[in-house]
C-alpha cells in the first residue's frame, strides 16, 4: 500500500479539534483532497521537523495493513499551511516561522477510542478489547516494530465493533528515536494484558501473538520495495543507509520464532 504525498492544496478546510487530542496539540480535523480529487474527513497532526515521527507514522500505516491489522482506509503525508491553521487554533512554539509543515493524516473512523467507550465501565471495555483477536495481532505487530505507545486512547473501537489501530509515532523506537537521544516509556497492549488478564487468559494472549507473528516475514516482503522507495523520498539525506537499517531491523525481528522466543511460548 503506497503512501500518498500531498501538497498544501490538499488541505482544504479546518473542521475542528478533537475532545481528547492526546499529547500532540496540533491535532485537528480537516477536509483533505486525495490524489484522485476525492474529499475525505481526516484526523491530522503536524509532526516536528528533524524527527522520525512522520516516517514512523507512514511506515506503521503501511505495515499494519500488510499484516491484516485494521487501519483507517486512507492515510497520507500532507503539507499543512501553518498560518492558515493558526487562524483556527493555537499552535505550539515549534511551529513559529514555518510556512508549511508536514503532517500525517488518516481518514476518521466512525467509533470511539477504547478509553472513551463506556467511561463508567472502562474496566469492562478494556477486558473485551484484550480478548479480541485483532488486538492480539496488534500487540504482536507493536512488539515486532518496537512501537512504544499503543495505549487505549489511540485504539479505536469502530461502530461495527472492530478495533482499529492509529498512531505509530513511536515506531522503531530503539533504532530511530534512541539514536537521537529521545526515549519513550512503554505503554503497550502486551503491558496491559500482563496487568489485567488472568494467567490462563494471558497464555492465550501470548499464543495468539506468537501465531500472528508468522505473517510478519511475508507481509514485510510484500511491501519492502514500496517502503524503501518511500523512506528514500522522505529522508533523502539519510538514504539509502536508513532504508537498509530499517529493513534489516524489521527482517531480523520477523524471523520465524523470534516473537515466540521473546514471549517464552511455543507457537
What is the tens place of the pLDDT at every residue in 166-179? 889 999 999 999 98
How does pLDDT run across 120-143, given as a tens digit for each residue?
A: 566 667 778 898 998 999 999 999
Which pTM was predicted? 0.92
pLDDT of residue 115 exceeding 80, the answer is no
**Residue 211 pLDDT greater than 60, yes or no:** yes
The predicted pLDDT at position 42 comes to: 97
Q: What is the pLDDT of residue 117?
A: 59
Which pLDDT tens digit goes with each residue over 223-264?
A: 998 888 888 888 877 767 888 899 999 999 999 999 999 999
| pLDDT band for position 19 (cuts 50, 70, 90) | confident
DSSP SS3 for 30: strand
Listed by start position, the domains of the chain span: 5-107, 111-263
Indicate the range of 30-34, 101-105, 110-114, 141-145 predicted with least confidence: 110-114
Q: Is 201 exposed, middle or buried (0-12, 13-18, 19+ CB in 10 A)?
A: middle
Strands (E), 51-117: 75-81, 100-107, 111-113
Q: Contact at 8 Å (CB) between 74 and 42?
A: yes
In the predicted structure, residue 60 carries a pLDDT above the cut 90:
yes
pLDDT tens-digit series, residues 32-56: 999 999 999 999 999 999 999 999 9
CATH class of domain segment(s) 5-107? alpha beta
- pLDDT score at 125: 74
Sheet holding 111-113, edge to edge: 111-113, 155-158, 163-165
Q: What is the mean pLDDT of residues 73-99?
A: 96
Report the C-alpha gap between 25 and 59 in whole angstroms: 22
Half-sphere exposure of 78 (CA within 13 A, CB side): 27
Q: Read off the C-alpha cell for 238.
A: 539519510
Instruction: Answer whether CATH 1.10.1070 is correct for domain 111-263.
Output: yes
pLDDT the model gives residue 22 = 63
Q: For the chain, give the mean pLDDT.
A: 90
Amino acid at each position: 500500500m503506497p503512501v500518498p504525498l500531498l501538497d498544501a492544496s490538499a488541505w482544504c478546510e479546518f473542521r475542528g479539534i478533537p475532545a481528547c487530542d492526546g499529547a500532540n496539540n496540533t491535532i485537528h480535523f480537516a477536509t483533505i483532497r486525495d490524489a484522485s480529487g476525492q474529499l475525505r474527513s481526516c484526523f491530522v497532526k503536524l509532526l516536528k521537523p528533524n524527527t522520525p515521527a512522520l516516517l514512523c507514522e507512514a511506515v506503521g500505516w503501511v505495515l499494519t495493513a500488510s499484516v491484516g491489522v485494521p487501519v483507517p482506509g486512507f492515510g497520507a503525508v500532507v503539507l499543512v499551511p501553518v498560518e492558515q491553521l493558526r487562524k483556527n487554533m493555537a499552535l505550539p512554539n515549534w511551529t513559529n516561522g514555518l510556512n508549511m509543515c508536514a503532517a500525517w493524516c488518516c481518514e476518521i473512523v466512525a467509533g470511539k477510542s477504547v478509553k472513551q467507550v463506556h467511561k463508567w465501565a472502562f474496566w469492562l471495555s478494556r477486558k473485551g478489547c484484550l480478548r479480541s483477536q485483532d488486538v492480539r495481532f496488534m500487540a504482536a505487530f507493536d512488539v515486532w516494530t518496537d512501537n512504544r505507545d499503543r495505549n487505549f486512547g489511540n485504539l479505536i473501537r469502530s461502530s461495527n465493533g472492530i478495533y482499529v489501530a492509529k498512531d505509530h509515532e513511536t515506531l522503531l523506537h530503539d533504532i530511530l528515536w534512541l539514536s537521537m537521544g529521545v526515549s519513550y516509556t512503554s505503554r503497550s497492549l502486551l503491558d496491559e494484558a500482563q496487568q489485567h488478564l488472568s494467567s490462563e487468559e494471558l497464555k492465550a494472549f501470548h499464543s495468539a501473538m506468537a501465531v500472528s507473528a508468522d505473517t510478519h516475514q511475508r507481509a514485510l516482503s510484500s511491501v519492502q520495495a514500496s517502503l524503501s522507495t518511500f523512506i528514500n523520498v522522505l529522508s533523502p539525506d539519510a538514504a539509502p543507509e536508513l532504508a537498509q537499517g530499517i529493513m534489516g531491523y524489521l527482517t531480523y525481528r520477523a524471523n520465524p520464532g523470534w516473537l515466540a522466543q521473546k514471549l517464552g511460548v511455543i507457537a
